[in-house]
Structure 1
Amino acid sequence: MEGLFLITPNLFKAQPNSYNAVKIQVISNNNFQKDRESLYYFHSRNIPESKNNEDGMNIGLENVIKLFYRPKGLSMSPSMAFSKPKFTFNGSQLVVENNTPYHINLASLTINKVAIKLNKENNILYPFSTSTFSTIKQKGMVKWSVFNDLGGLDEFSQKIN
């Protein structure tokens, strides 16, 4: 994200029972694609205070947050895009086409109630791209749920013959 965003404050001390806000501001939108969303990852690291005279264990944590930059004037709404993936079969592969300008962040994907294993490597359908998933099912009802802009889940289904 270097050179694309200004993140302030870049370092702060968190006091017990308090909170801090981080502001992420676009420096220049000339560096982003205009016809689709762009995806970045924001890493927030917690470095524990070190006190030499105490016994115990210090644990550092890292939070990784998906950060989507959405240009103005895209051809459809995000909620409409989430319902638009096209599902087909090619042998033992489920082929999923995302012909929208949005990232579709899958929470679940099933064929005839059999779950397809999703992980951080395959759970995002990128704009204007095709993804494949191995499966033994070759027809039936495909159901998928996506994380929406508010963090909730939207569910959809499509019958494949």
Structure 2
Amino acid sequence: MALGSRGARTMRNTFIAGLTLLSLMFGATAQAAVTVGATRLIYDAKQNEANLTVSNREDDSPYLVQSWVSQYGAGNDASLDTFIVTPPLFRLDANKENILRVIFTGGAAVPQNQESLFLMNVKAIPAMRDDQRDANVLQIALKTTIKLFYRPAGLPGSPKEAVAALDWKAAGDTLSVDNPSKFHVVVSEVKVNGTALSTQTDVLKPGEHRVLPVKAKSGDQISLSYIDDYGTSITAPAVTLR
């Protein structure tokens, strides 16, 4: 017996809802299963490499793990030749972990007088079990992306000193900030007189001048929270605009 248009719509909506729920279930499972051991990776050029742990906390599901480094803010995740990640592709069995070795290959495009920022990408693809091969099963690949900071050897200063060196100014009813240091400042939150900016800044690059979308005047209090090398949010001492 043919279904009416209302019945067809109901079945279609039920199918879509079920597919969406299945996607969420697989996504949540992947997210809980394969994890990386840090929220950021600091590549100290005094060392030969940087290491990142990848763990599979599933009880019975292996994953195929692919890893690479891409450019920060490029709008795509194309792999760079500047870094080699080994192993680039491997099977990660249930309740196992592996260590990714990130090796800097050099290149004139990476300055040695200031810090550089890249992205570390780790994609986990669930393996197809034998009982799933003849079934319609939705497989969800989960990609985790964290910041990778390349820090040249002998760089003067520190990330904490970089935060203290930020130069906040009020000019023409606008708020601006200069980062004169050689380090990136990863911003968690900026408040003006106790009110958080509606549009937050992610990263202040070395040598960057940034005008923020808020009115400010002399005497206003600026409070900055930033993320340190260990992924902890720290609130810096408040600054009074001059």
Q: Which TM class, normalised by the smaller chain length?
A: 0.7 to 0.9
Partner secondary structure for residue 162 of structure 2: helix
- Between the aligned partners of 2:114 and 2:157, the Cα distance in structure 1 is 11
| 1:95 paired residue number | 176
**More off after superposition, 125-134 vs 52-61:** 52-61
| 1:142 paired residue number | 222
Are the aligned partners of 1:92 and 1:134 in contact in 2 as well (CA < 8 Å)?
A: no
Provide the TM-score with structure 2 as the length reference: 0.60
**1:22 pairs with one of 94, 100, 109:** 100
| 1:128 paired residue number | 207
Q: Unaligned 5+ residue runs, structure 2?
A: 1-69, 71-79
Are the aligned partners of 2:82 and 2:106 in contact in 1 as well (CA < 8 Å)?
A: yes
| 2:111 paired residue number | 33
- Between the aligned partners of 2:81 and 2:208, the Cα distance in structure 1 is 27
Higher share in helix: 2
How many residues end up aligned between the 2 structures?
159
Amino acid at match of 1:126: K
Per-residue CA deviation, residues 105-156 of structure 1 (Å, 9 max, x unaligned), is 001111011111355xx31000011112111343411000111112112221
Partner secondary structure for residue 79 of structure 1: helix
Provide the TM-score with structure 1 as the length reference: 0.87
**1:73 pairs with one of 154, 178, 184:** 154
Amino acid at match of 2:101: K
Per-residue CA deviation, residues 10-54 of structure 1 (Å, 9 max, x unaligned), is 011122222222110112366521211011111111122233334
Per-residue deviation, 1:93: 2.6
Are the aligned partners of 1:108 and 1:118 in contact in 2 as well (CA < 8 Å)?
A: no
Partner secondary structure for residue 16 of structure 1: coil
Amino acid at match of 2:226: V
| 2:232 paired residue number | 152
Per-residue CA deviation, residues 53-78 of structure 1 (Å, 9 max, x unaligned), is 34543221111111111112222122
Amino acid at match of 1:123: D
**1:8 pairs with one of 74, 78, 86:** 86
Are the aligned partners of 2:199 and 2:213 in contact in 1 as well (CA < 8 Å)?
A: no
Q: Unaligned 5+ residue runs, structure 1?
A: none
- Identity across aligned pairs (percent)? 24
Amino acid at match of 2:111: Q
